[in-house]
């Protein structure tokens, strides 16, 4: 494309854009302004831009924006709220979801039972004479072993029951 | 700072929505309802516009975590709307479009307007996305060319050039076919 051709194309772009702006700002006169604008440069594609101006007028009529109805705004708000709660449950619901399934409840029961067993052993241990290797780590080892065995047993029971349902 | 607090940017609201702030997403819905509604009015039969508008926002809500911020929120939402329009036509391809009763019987002017809108709507559907977008941005959304250029991340000159080519393309689509 030569420089002159490019300038002509840019001129056409500017003319059509200016006509569109004027039309949409309610300043263009139907069939009048665009002809007057092009009359000074009849050799510069007047016919093409005039033809496109008619299409622009059709588009402006057919696609003119309208405000949405109020009831649509309310409907969307309600649907968004409902969908939001469903997809992103509130903190409370997220907490309750941890106990939703029976297997989950059994697992949490196992954890609680283990904690209770460990606490009971910890409280009773000073009063029970234990024959250990004689180091402090021996007592901790008993704790850990008891807690581990208790948790494993209760978890196994929970999973077994959960699978059976 | 107070301006930002009063009118947070789309990206700020989108970030908050992604983090779980429902009010931020609702603010985005309020901000873009008119834009989406008018886009869909241009692309869909009248009876489908309200339902599909709702679907666009629900889909946007569910997909907000995938909005990376690489494009503007407006552009991203327009893409969501485009997908919903495509879904609508996939599901309703066999249903013929019927003239609303009032346009048929009582008001010839309304019938003419309905027919003109239908012709433009069908022509728009046949345009490539970048031509369709620029026409909708200018006419259905009322954005001036400077803002269109900014939204599309092109120069003002490129926006006006694309606009003229889009008008020429839709003019060709609107030509009556066959004799």
B4-13 residue pLDDT tens: 567 899 989 9
Taking an 8 Å cut-off on Cβ atoms, the answer to whether B163 and A20 are in contact is yes
pLDDT at residue B166, rounded to an integer: 97
pLDDT band at A105 (very low <50, low <70, confident <90, very high): confident
* Rounded Cα distance, B108 and B102, in Å: 9
Closest CA in chain B for residue A69: B50
The reply to whether B169 touches chain A by the CB within 8 Å rule is: no
* Rounded Cα distance, B72 and B45, in Å: 28
pLDDT digits (tens, 9 = 90+) for A114-140: 777 777 777 777 655 555 545 555 566
pLDDT digits (tens, 9 = 90+) for A55-73: 999 999 999 999 999 999 9
Taking an 8 Å cut-off on Cβ atoms, the answer to whether B116 and A61 are in contact is yes
| Average pLDDT of span B150-165 | 95
pLDDT at residue A33, rounded to an integer: 47
Residues of A in contact with B121 (CB under 8 A): 62
pLDDT at residue A120, rounded to an integer: 76
Helix B108-125 and helix B156-174, axial crossing angle in degrees, nearest 10:
120
* Nearest chain B Cα distance for residue A3, angstroms: 15
pLDDT digits (tens, 9 = 90+) for B20-76: 899 999 999 999 999 999 999 999 999 999 999 999 999 999 999 888 888 889 999
Q: What does the DSSP 8-state code read for residue A134?
A: S
* Nearest chain A Cα distance for residue B125, angstroms: 14
Mean pLDDT rounded to a whole number for chain B: 87
Distance set, CA A2 to CA A5, A9, A72, B163 (Å): 5, 11, 53, 22
| Average pLDDT of span B107-121 | 84
| Average pLDDT of span A95-103 | 73
ipTM of the complex: 0.84
pLDDT band at B162 (very low <50, low <70, confident <90, very high): very high
The pTM of the full predicted model, rounded to 2 decimals, is: 0.69
């Amino acid at each position: 494309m030569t420089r002159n051709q490019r300038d002509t194309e840019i001129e056409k772009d500017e003319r059509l854009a200016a006509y569109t702006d004027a039309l949409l700002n309610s300043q263009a006169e139907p069939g009048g302004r665009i002809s007057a604008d092009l009359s000074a440069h009849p050799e510069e594609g007047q016919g093409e831009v005039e033809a496109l101006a008619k299409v622009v007028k059709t588009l402006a009529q057919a696609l003119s924006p309208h405000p949405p109805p109020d009831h649509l705004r309310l409907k969307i708000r309600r649907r968004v709220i409902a969908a939001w709660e469903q997809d992103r449950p509130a903190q409370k619901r997220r907490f309750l979801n941890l106990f939703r399934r029976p297997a989950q409840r059994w697992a949490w029961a196992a954890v609680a039972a283990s904690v209770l067993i460990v606490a009971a052993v910890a409280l009773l241990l000073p009063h029970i004479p234990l024959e250990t290797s004689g180091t402090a780590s021996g007592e901790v080892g008993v704790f850990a072993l008891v807690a581990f065995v208790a948790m494993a047993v209760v978890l196994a029971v929970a999973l077994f029951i959960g699978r059976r349902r | 700072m107070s301006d930002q607090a009063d009118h947070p940017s789309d990206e700020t609201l989108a970030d908050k929505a992604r983090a779980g702030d429902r009010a931020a997403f609702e603010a985005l819905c309020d901000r873009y309802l008119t834009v989406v509604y008018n886009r869909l009015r241009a692309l869909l039969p009248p009876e489908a516009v309200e339902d599909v508008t709702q679907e666009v926002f629900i889909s946007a809500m569910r997909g907000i975590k995938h909005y990376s911020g690489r494009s503007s929120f407006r552009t991203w939402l327009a893409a969501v709307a485009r997908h919903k329009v495509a879904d609508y036509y996939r599901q309703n391809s066999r249903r013929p479009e019927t003239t609303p009763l009032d346009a048929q019987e009582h008001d010839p002017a309304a019938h003419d307007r309905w027919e003109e809108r239908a012709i433009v709507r069908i022509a728009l559907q046949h345009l490539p996305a970048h031509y369709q977008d620029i026409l909708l941005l200018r006419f259905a959304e009322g954005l001036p060319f400077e803002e269109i250029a900014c939204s599309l991340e092109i120069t003002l000159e490129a926006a006006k050039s694309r606009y003229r080519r889009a008008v020429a393309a839709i003019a060709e689509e609107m030509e009556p076919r066959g004799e």
